[in-house]
Chains A and B, each alone.
Chain A
Amino acid sequence: MSAIRVRFWGVRGSVPCPGPKTVKFGGNTACLELRFGEAGRLVVIDAGTGIRELAAHVMKTDLPRGPLKTQLFLTHTHWDHIMGFPFFIPIFIPTTELEVYGPVTYEDDNLNEILGGMLKYRYWPVRLEELAAKIRYHDLKEGSRDLGDGLWVTSKYLNHPILVLGYRFEYQGKVLCTAYDTEPFRNVFDVAPDAPGYDAEAVKEGEAAAREENEKVSRFFQGADILIHDTQYTHQEYLAGKVGWGHTSFEQAVNAAHRAGVKRLLLFHHDPDRSDEELERLERRIRASVAGHSTLQVFIAREGMQVEV
């Protein structure tokens, strides 16, 4: 039995996008099902719209074996990563025990209030207070945490317009990492020398800071057996107006994974406008570019896909 198994229930970024152009890769937003060891212990990452079908699956496979006790890790609280939460049926079952972990940005409410904000009469007929399950919320920072049974998770801040955590799960010597939504850190102080406010010292400091932060992210997924990485844009798209939007290009993600000695790279968080045809073409192109240069295996994540290590 493999140590870690991951199944993709939603692979899109930004907004769900069902339709004839997204049949093969799927239109649901981010949701991952992780299973650990023989017992098949369940951990969920993100509550995008994919979580609705995960819920049905859990009801069929887990619930007959007893009450559900699980953890949900949110990478961040942007809409596409939480909007499926009210559709996660186990939260309506009194015996369910759910621990929700996630980062909270300085000026915002805590996790309970952010998720609870969706469960109000104006949006939805059931209020947070009416949920039957026992749900505990944990505002998460950077650090490592023992989840019991030899399962460890390490969280790392990434680069997005809101606080985002990447997660590194380690179990029985195997490693699965997430690095989304994120963009490589860059020196935002590197402006033209004649621009107002130009500061040579800041440019230098910014250069070092961006480099070091990127090195930290690289160390974070160093040697991962599976890395699930943001690739919302092609590099051409990235350079043509998406710099600073908090997402990575296919090219950047592949290079970063290769440098960090990652074994399998799953490209994830597809742009809602990206068609099946384009994704297939990109997959062929990327594989051809890697072949012969790297032992890195690259896949484009699609709904229903399972990967194990």
Chain B
Amino acid sequence: MLRVIQSYVGKMPPLPVTVSKVLEICNNPKTSPVDLNQVISLDPVLMGKVMRLINSAYYSLPNQITSLVRAIIMLGINTVKNLALSTAVLSTLGKASDFQALNMEGFWRHSIAVGVTAKLIASKRSVDVKQREEYFIAGLLHDIGKIPLNNRMAQEYVQAVSLTDRDHIPLYQSEERLLTVHHAAVGKMIVENWRLGENLADAVSFHHHLGEYAGKHRELVLTVAVSNLFSNTYELGFSGDRYPENLSAALLAELGVDWDYLESIEEGVKAEIEKAQVFLKVAR
């Protein structure tokens, strides 16, 4: 079974390298039109999607725009930055038709929720502005391992989600029981395959196994774990994990947050998801 997953992971398109570049470029207020053009142009898929969006009914431009250079001059760098960002983020999630046990919309909302929460916690902790995007990406991608499981072994995955509901156990345990491998381990393969860096690999691999973690990126891993628990508990989106393992008060205290704080950001996180929803509609 592991071999099937490994082969699937090996064939996953290497888009997310661009995603992190786009995120980096788009979140830097000093980004120049030249940088933006370069990073989008490097990725023909992203480029195609951005161009399709620019030429969509959204702008109803009378003439077809065929170059990104022209789009940036016409619509301005901010607009194109946002188009690229949303398109890039969406592209990590695969097509709706690939989704079997988990529904794409719910999974997507959950991923955004964890990303946004992680970034909010990072800013509360005064993490360097440049690193906050890393928190967002880590949150966004933490469950990426569920995509191959859900898509390649749909039937078994439906059973794993049901087992979680029936026995009130965390989803990763149901996965292990029925599929011999859990989504964090699969996620690790993907992130390593994409060479996204040790920090993201750790966040994806250990977000359910904090106790076993002894690496250098504890703050990031812990932030993603807490953001994930919060999003599951408050049902922001849906990733199949209705009975997540609780985290001790000591772990939350280590991060300097508590449930009152998390509750206070719920509306803000929801608003961010809604905002991103617009992208989902237009960019697909």
- A: residues with CB less than 8 A from B are 105-107, 141-143, 157, 159-163, 185-189, 191, 195-199, 202, 205-206, 209-210, 213
Contact = CB atoms under 8 A, between A and B. Distances in A.
Contacts of A209: 67, 69-70, 73-74
Contact of A185 (B34, B67, B74): B74
Nearest to A139: B58
A107 B78 CA distance: 10
B72 to A, nearest CB: 7
Interface string B15-58: 00000000000000000111101100000000000000000001
Contact of A206 (B35, B38, B73): B73
A141 B57 CA distance: 9
B78 A161 contact: yes
Contacts of B73: 185-189, 206, 209-210, 213
A106 B33 contact: no
A205 B83 CA distance: 21
B79 A163 contact: yes
Contact of B83 (A106, A159, A163): A106
Contact of B70 (A143, A197, A205): A205
A202 B60 contact: no
A160 B69 contact: no
B77 A188 contact: yes
A107 B82 contact: yes
Given A205-B67, A209-B69, 20 more contacts: A105-B79, A106-B278, A107-B79, A107-B82, A107-B275, A142-B59, A142-B61, A142-B62, A143-B60, A159-B74, A162-B78, A188-B33, A189-B72, A191-B34, A196-B34, A199-B37, A199-B38, A206-B70, A209-B67, A210-B73
Q: Is the interface of A mostly helix, strand, loop or mixed?
A: loop
A136 B38 CA distance: 42
- B contact face: mostly helix, strand, loop, or mixed: helix
Contacts of A205: 67, 69-70
Contacts of B77: 188
Contact of A141 (B38, B59, B75, B78): B59
Nearest to B72: A188
A106 B79 contact: yes
Contacts of A107: 79, 82, 86, 275, 278-279
Nearest to B35: A197
B82 A197 contact: no
Nearest to B61: A142
Nearest first, the 6 A-B pairs at minimum CB distance are A209-B70, A141-B60, A188-B33, A197-B34, A205-B69, A209-B73
Contacts of A142: 59-62
A239 B59 CA distance: 31
B182 to A, nearest CB: 36
A198 B62 CA distance: 30
A50 to B, nearest CB: 27
Nearest to B74: A213
24 contacts: A106-B79, A106-B82, A106-B83, A106-B278, A107-B79, A107-B275, A141-B60, A142-B60, A143-B60, A159-B74, A159-B76, A161-B78, A163-B75, A188-B73, A188-B77, A189-B37, A195-B34, A197-B38, A199-B38, A206-B70, A206-B73, A209-B67, A209-B70, A209-B73
Contacts of A199: 34, 37-38
A295 to B, nearest CB: 31
Interface in B237-284: 275, 278-279, 282
A196 B278 CA distance: 34
Nearest to A110: B278
Nearest to B80: A106
A185 B192 CA distance: 44
